[in-house]
Each structure stands twice: as C-alpha cells, then as structure tokens.
Chain A
C-alpha cells in the first residue's frame, strides 16, 4: 500500500457525461500528479499541483480540469466524455518537506465510457 488513495476504483459512464475522480496523497506529501494510461500505453502526464497551486501541465485536454484543496486532496474533473477517454487514471503524490522526494502512485480509477 503506497498510502495514496483514489476513489472510485471503477467508473462506467456514457459519452457526454461528466465525472470527478478523487485522490488523497500520502500523509505529509504536498504535491499531487495526475496521469492517464490508456490500454497498453505508457503514463501520460496530465497535471501537477503543489500545495494547492498548479505547478505544471502536460497533455491535458481542455475538457479536463483539476484542483487541489487546502487539505491537499485533489480532484480531476472530466467533462463531455468521449469513448477515447476510457483509461486508467492514476494519481501520485510526492514531496514531504524534510524527507525524500519519491513519487508514489495510488491504485488508479478505471474509467469506462460507453
């Protein structure tokens, strides 16, 4: 167990809908990352937050948005869903000040768009 939690584990929804994925980082970690992994694909970096502020953006579509809250949990919002958005979405956390800077992944949310 990495200490990073994600909910829900599975999500099935229809095209055009909107969903919210939730992530709680490891205790003390300030940075949260979101990744998308489609079938047999690598990890596509979407976005990074550090202590509530957006730090870096990757290949994130305009239909997607995220935020990190004061308690450091993060949400990834996916709207106007398309079939191609079906994927595993991972959250990872890092940066506990004064400690190591390893990045640990949550168990992922499997999104299926029908």
Chain B
C-alpha cells in the first residue's frame, strides 16, 4: 500500500517568513495530492491540492509543488501570518480513491 512521510513534525517561523513542509510517497500510481490545515479541535480543511499531471499550483500565499520522479511534494507558505499557525497534513490518493495521510506538521508563526 501507499506510505506517506511528512517532515518536519514541528516548524516555527517568524511572521513574514516562509514555511516549507515536505512529503514523500511510495506508490507511483498515486494521482492526487491534497493539503489540509487543521486548527485545534476542528476539522481538517482542504487548502490546496495538486494532480499528478501538474508540477506546481499556487493560490495567493500558498503553493504546492510535485516531483513525480522523486515522488515528493511540498507545501510552501509565503509571508506567514499568526493565523497560519495550525497543523498541516499532506495526503496522497491512489487509484482506488483511498487517501493516505502524513503524520502532520505543527506550524507556529511567531508574531
């Protein structure tokens, strides 16, 4: 089955700096890679996603890159703000429409 690894587990940045979270996956047939943001006690919210036929996608301060050859994808947050503080999860979806999640990154943005 698919195995998704996520790094780092915790990340602290100064407000205004950039944050990068990286994930690797094992199943080369995985074709869809979403990122979720989860605030304490709340549901994971889809913030950005990328399909396997695209190398990069950007939405305002958030971007995701995908390297299919290396089987890794990354979340980039620029100009971080305190409200970006949360736990971020990456995931990979296989052809059976099953989702495999990384273990999460706790991001703290220091004002």
Contacts and interface: CB of A to CB of B under 8 A. Distances in A.
Contacts of A71: none
Nearest to A110: B41
A102 B34 contact: yes
A105 B44 CA distance: 6
A110 B43 CA distance: 11
Q: Which of B43, B98, B102, B104 has the most CB of A within 10 A?
A: B43
Contacts, number: 54
Instruction: Identify whether the interface residues of A are mostly helix, strand, loop, or mixed.
Output: strand
A95 interface: yes
B101 A42 contact: yes
Interface stretch (A48-56, A61-69, A72-80): A48-56
Contacts of A45: 98-101
Contacts of B101: 42-43, 45
A55 B97 contact: yes
Interface range on chain A (Cβ under 8 Å from partner): 20 to 34
A42 to B, nearest CB: 5
B43 A107 contact: yes
B44 A101 contact: no
A105 B43 contact: yes
B93 interface: yes
A105 B97 contact: no
Contacts of A94: 97, 99
B3 to A, nearest CB: 13
13 contacts: A2-B45, A33-B99, A42-B101, A50-B97, A56-B96, A88-B41, A94-B99, A101-B93, A102-B49, A103-B93, A105-B45, A106-B43, A107-B42
Interface of A: 2, 31, 33, 42-43, 45, 48, 50, 55-56, 88, 90, 92, 94-95, 101-108, 110
Given A42-B103, A88-B41, 14 more contacts: A2-B45, A43-B44, A45-B98, A45-B99, A48-B98, A55-B98, A56-B98, A90-B44, A92-B99, A94-B99, A101-B97, A107-B42, A107-B43, A108-B42
